[in-house]
Amino acid sequence: MGIVERIKEIEAEMARTQKNKATEYHLGQLKAKIAKLRTQLLEPPKGSSGGGDGFEVTKYGHGRVALIGFPSVGKSTLLTMLTGTHSEAASYEFTTLTCIPGVIHYNDTKIQLLDLPGIIEDLVLMVLDASKSEGHRQILTKELEAVGLRLNKRPPQIYFKKKKTGGISFNTTAPLTRIDEKLCYQILHEYKIHNAEVLFREDATVDDFIDVIEGNRKYIKCVYVYNKIDVVGIDDVDRLARQPNSIVISCNLKLNLDRLLARMWDEMGLVRVYSKPQSQQPDFDEPFVLSADRGGCTVEDFCNHVHRTLVKDMKYALVWGTSARHYPQHCGLSHHLEDEDVVQIVKKKVREEGGRGRFKSHSNVPARIADREKKAPLKQ
């Protein structure tokens, strides 16, 4: 029996099992088995160097956004309207024939938009049909979770570390209502882990604990884009627009596309920083784009973007913020930069060997008085 067949068999068993206090341990073990099998399914076969046939899209710009959705929702049309790039698709589901990346120029930055779910770094745009039920959203979310993506979730507050000896150490700093110590032991036994440290800092679930053990989950932001609002009533549009992490648009009538771009910008958290050379005007044409999810937004991160050795040479930084353009702050490496800050790096002065004048650092005179050459006595 193959891995896919085993996964389907376990899923069928979970569907048949009633959820109650008596079966929660059994269901927890079944979830752990499915997670292990799905990890094996994603791993490349033994003896091969990769995961099979595929391709790579060259990274471009300051961020990456992936478009996900069924062809009938106007996903390719949205890609064309935002970037001017055409993506060819067939007439049946999940059939984008190749990945043709487009680039959005917004707020002096370049954002790469990909009509492909397999290459995701910063944000997911899940394009849905406003005239249909929530079934598509549930299907796409389930498919992404099966490959290790967690949408609009943060990593669980669970500390887990394997050990060589000492058995399993289980502790918690918060009351647990959805998992207990016995179930954790059974899940660890399923993974053949007999020595580990486990610390729960929140009331986590069985799925959260399995994700921590697997260690290969990716937590990413997702915006649900409901297209075709021109074919539904105003009450439905209002209901969809008020849902969390959602925005409504119409590619046909070109409605709300500017709000979509602004929402993408806010979710990605990009920070534009302008450099100012000494005794010169700031360069407002090409900003350095930082992000908390891709390196950080401190002065040290800005220095690393400019040059790797700039951190060692920096004495301090002058930062002009949006609220006080005329009065710069003297900042260190740990200072957090905001959007549209202007930064001037002041370097350490390198002392010339020998120095000049009264600042001369080297002398031929001996350091000790005993070593000095005695002068001849004056003539009487």
- CATH code assigned at 240: 3.40.50.300
The CA dihedral of 301, 302, 308, 310, to the nearest 10 degrees, is -120
Phi, psi of 369 (to 5 degrees): -65, -35
Q: Which residue has the higher pLDDT, 101 or 224?
A: 224
Element (H, E) at 33: helix 24-42
**Shared domain check, 70 and 36:** no
| Domains held by the chain: number | 3
- In whole angstroms, how far apart are CA 132 and each of 56, 70, 207? 33, 12, 29
Would residue 56 count as lying in a domain?
no
* 210 and 244 part of one domain: no
Task: Tell me, yes or no, whether 109 lies in a domain.
Answer: yes
Instruction: Specify burial of residue 257 (Cβ count, 10 A radius: 0-12, 13-18, 19+).
Output: middle
User: How is residue 296 annotated by DSSP?
Assistant: B
Last residue of a domain, one of 250, 268, 286: 268
pLDDT at residue 308 in the model: 86
* Residues 23 and 89 both lie in one domain: no
Whether residue 69 contacts residue 136, with contact meaning beta carbons closer than 8 Å, is answered with yes
Note whether 278 and 353 are same-domain residues. yes
For helices 3-16 and 24-42, what crossing angle results, to 10°?
A: 160
How far lies 363's CA from each of 349, 360, 367, 368, in Å? 21, 8, 9, 13
> Is there a single domain that holds both residue 301 and residue 366?
yes
Q: What is the dihedral of CA 38, 141, 127, 4, to 10 degrees?
A: 30
**249 and 160 in one domain?**
no
Q: Which domain holds residue 127?
A: 63-151+218-268
Question: Of 14-18, 36-40, 184-188, 239-243, which gets the smallest average pLDDT?
Answer: 36-40
The answer to the question of residue 235 being in a domain is: yes
215 beta partners:
none
Q: Which tens digit of pLDDT belongs to each residue from 335-374?
A: 999 999 999 999 988 665 555 555 555 556 556 666 666 6
Q: Are residues 206 and 179 in the same domain?
A: yes
**Does residue 184 sit in the same domain as residue 281?**
no
For residue 93, pLDDT over 60 is answered with no
Residue 201 confidence (pLDDT): 96
Considering the domain architecture, whether residues 170 and 247 belong to the same structural domain is answered as no
Residue 237 sits in the same domain as residue 336: no
Strands (E) across 250-340 are located at 270-275, 288-291, 314-320, 329-331
Range with the poorest average pLDDT among 32-41, 110-119, 232-241:
110-119
Is 294 contained in some domain?
Answer: yes
CA dist., res. 199 & res. 340, Å (int): 41
CB of 27 within 8 A of CB of 19? yes
**Does 370 lie in the same domain as 295?**
yes
337, 302 contact by CB (below 8 A) = yes
CB 268 within 8 A of CB 291: yes
Among residues 198, 214, 230, which one ends one of the domains?
Answer: 214
